Amino acid sequence: CCLDSGVGAARAGNLTFMVGGVEQEFDAAKELLICMGSNVVYCGEVGTGQAAKICNNMLLAISMIGTAETMNLGIRLGLDPKLLAKILNMSSGRCWSSDTYNPVPGVMEGVPSANNYQGGFGTTLMAKDLGLAQISATNTKTPVPLGSQAHQIYRMMCAKGYALKDFSVVFQFLREEESL
């Protein structure tokens, strides 16, 4: 079984469990999983829960990097970050990274960016999941150029001291990289 959404979702009981295995065993365990999470999804045979998790996290990493880049550009163009986030979230650019977990300090309360990127889903864990996605893509001969780029970015972040911060710290990483 694999879970998604991180520490905050665990505390709130909003985890998503992606489960692979024998369906009868899933049915027996589902009642317990529902106590801990709001979404419990049977994915198929053993390994499919992990596959769903790494696919989800690859998309999450890509969208977080895109949100961080977009917010950074908007700020540099003179836009207020709260206004830009509001516009994005009512427009076609809206995604979980912008409307629920914004990476810019001061835009949202209760997210890691509002707490010096503490808590949440660690950069090291994101780099690990992106590595698993890369291995899977290689094994299945699936092109994932954005997933590959995201993996490189998160690996660099780990090497440059961001390993223990929430993965949304990519916003801070990009801002610091541009000044070099």
pLDDT tens-digit readout, 31-69: 888 888 888 989 999 999 999 999 999 999 999 999 999
Q: Are residues 93 and 162 in the same domain?
A: yes
Q: What is the pLDDT of residue 175?
A: 94
Q: Are residues 99 and 168 in the same domain?
A: yes
Range of the domain at 39: 1-46
Q: Are residues 99 and 132 in the same domain?
A: yes
Q: Which residues pair with 17 in a beta bridge?
A: 3, 40
> Which two three-digit tokens encode residue 157?
């972040």
Per the listing, tokens 């692979």 go with 20
pLDDT tens-digit readout, 147-175: 999 999 999 999 999 999 999 999 999 99
Are 61 and 154 contacting, i.e. CB atoms less than 8 angstroms apart?
yes
Q: Are residues 118 and 167 in the same domain?
A: yes
CATH number at residue 148: 1.10.1040.10
Q: Are residues 99 and 121 in the same domain?
A: yes
Q: Are residues 31 and 68 in the same domain?
A: no
Q: Are residues 37 and 59 in the same domain?
A: no
- Integer Cα distance of 58 and 49 in angstroms: 14
Report the run of H or E that residue 38 belongs to, with start and end.
Answer: strand 37-44
pTM: 0.88
- Integer Cα distance of 117 and 16 in angstroms: 22
Per the listing, tokens 């949304």 go with 168
Q: What is the pLDDT of residue 180?
A: 60
Does 1 score more than 70 pLDDT? no
Residue environment code for 55-93, b if the CB has 16+ CB neighbours within 10 A, otherwise e: bbbbbbbbbbbbbbebbbebeeeeeebeebbeebeeeeb
DSSP codes, 78-101 = T--HHHHHHHHHTSTT--HHHHTS
- Could you list the active site residues? 53
The closest alpha carbon to 131, from 148, 145, 106, belongs to: 148
Number of domains in the chain: 2
Q: Are residues 25 and 72 in the same domain?
A: no
